[in-house]
């Protein structure tokens, strides 16, 4: 009598961790770092202060501001307590702390709109995360006062299907009325800048509400 056979399935799981490589500083940045860093291969507060004034043209930069940059990088493994390593310096250059451009308009503003980069908002109505925060006009007002030129609103029918609400659909975010958003855009659009404001609508409306 033949012995019964049993099919056995094996499932193997493999996990491989991929390390995301940080962007390497370009050659030009390395050359600037070498020019302004000390012999120890680090950039001191005095070195950074000199770089801000001489290279970036920040004539009003203070050592206190240079110290603030140092403090903002302390949490990084690439930070050295006696000075900035090359990668820390590079992180500063591409970070929010490095804002040397003048606040006044300094470009030729006669070209078509598509020729420019625009300061753009995303989910401009949310007060916090994209899953459970409130929708409000306050973030829109703050964005416009900072000079944001593109405001995004996600449009959905309200529960009665007779009006339009703004919220992050399919989530627990609380809605705000569309008309309130449009009114604050009208009132605040040109406080920080005289240049155009673009409103983008993510449209989830029914045909009658679109009309």
Query: Residues of the chain whose pLDDT is less than 70?
Result: 1-23, 76-81, 99-104, 106
Which residue has 């206190």 as its token pair? 64
Under CATH, to which class is 27-93 assigned? mainly alpha
| DSSP state, residue 114 | G
Q: Is 80 a catalytic residue?
A: no
Instruction: Name residues whose C-beta falls within 8 Å of residue 49's C-beta, 6 or more positions apart in sequence.
Output: 61, 62, 63, 65, 66
Q: Kindly list the domain boundaries of the chain, sorted by start residue.
A: 27-93, 118-210
Q: What does the pLDDT read at residue 78? A: 58
Can you give the pLDDT at residue 20?
Answer: 42
User: Is the Cβ–Cβ distance between 142 and 185 less than 8 Å?
Assistant: no
Q: What is the pLDDT of residue 18?
A: 44
- In this prediction, residue 130 carries a pLDDT of 86
What is the model's pLDDT at position 166? Answer: 96
Report phi then psi at 36, rounded to 5: -105, -5
Q: Which pLDDT does position 155 carry in this prediction?
A: 97
Residue from 54, 48, 49 nearest 86 by CA: 48
pTM of the model: 0.55
Active site residue 85: no
Task: Write down the catalytic residue from 106, 107, 168, 204.
Answer: 168
pLDDT of residue 81: 63
Query: How many Cα atoms within 13 Å fall on the side-chain side of residue 130?
Result: 7
E strands, 40-174, where?
Answer: 79-80, 83-84, 150-157, 164-166
Helix ranges, the chain (H): 27-36, 45-54, 63-72, 86-93, 138-145, 178-188, 207-210
Query: What dihedral do alpha carbons 191, 144, 164, 200 form, nearest 10°?
Result: 110
Q: Give the burial class of 49: count Cβ atoms within 10 A of its Cβ; 0-12 exposed, 13-18 middle, 19 or more buried.
A: buried
Task: Return the SS3 of 166.
Answer: strand
Q: How many CB atoms lie within 10 A of CB 182?
A: 16
């Amino acid at each position: 009598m033949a012995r019964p056979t049993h099919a056995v399935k094996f499932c193997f799981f493999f996990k491989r961790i991929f390390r995301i490589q940080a962007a390497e500083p370009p050659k030009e940045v390395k050359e600037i770092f070498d020019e302004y860093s000390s012999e120890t291969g680090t950039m001191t507060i005095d070195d950074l202060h000199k770089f801000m004034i001489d290279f970036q043209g920040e004539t009003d930069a203070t050592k206190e501001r240079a110290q603030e940059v140092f403090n903002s990088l302390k949490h990084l493994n690439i930070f050295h307590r006696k000075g900035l390593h090359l990668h820390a310096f590079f992180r500063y250059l591409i970070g929010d702390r490095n804002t040397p451009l003048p606040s006044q308009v300094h470009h030729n503003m006669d070209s078509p709109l598509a020729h420019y980069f625009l300061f753009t908002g995303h989910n401009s109505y949310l007060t916090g995360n994209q899953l459970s925060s409130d929708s409000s006009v306050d973030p829109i007002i703050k964005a416009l006062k900072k000079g944001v030129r593109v405001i995004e609103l996600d449009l959905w029918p309200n529960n009665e299907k007779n009006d339009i609400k703004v919220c992050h659909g399919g989530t627990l975010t609380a809605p705000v009325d569309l008309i309130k958003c449009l009114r604050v855009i009208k009132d605040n659009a040109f406080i920080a800048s005289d240049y155009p404001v673009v409103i983008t609508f993510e449209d989830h409306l029914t045909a009658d509400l679109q009309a």
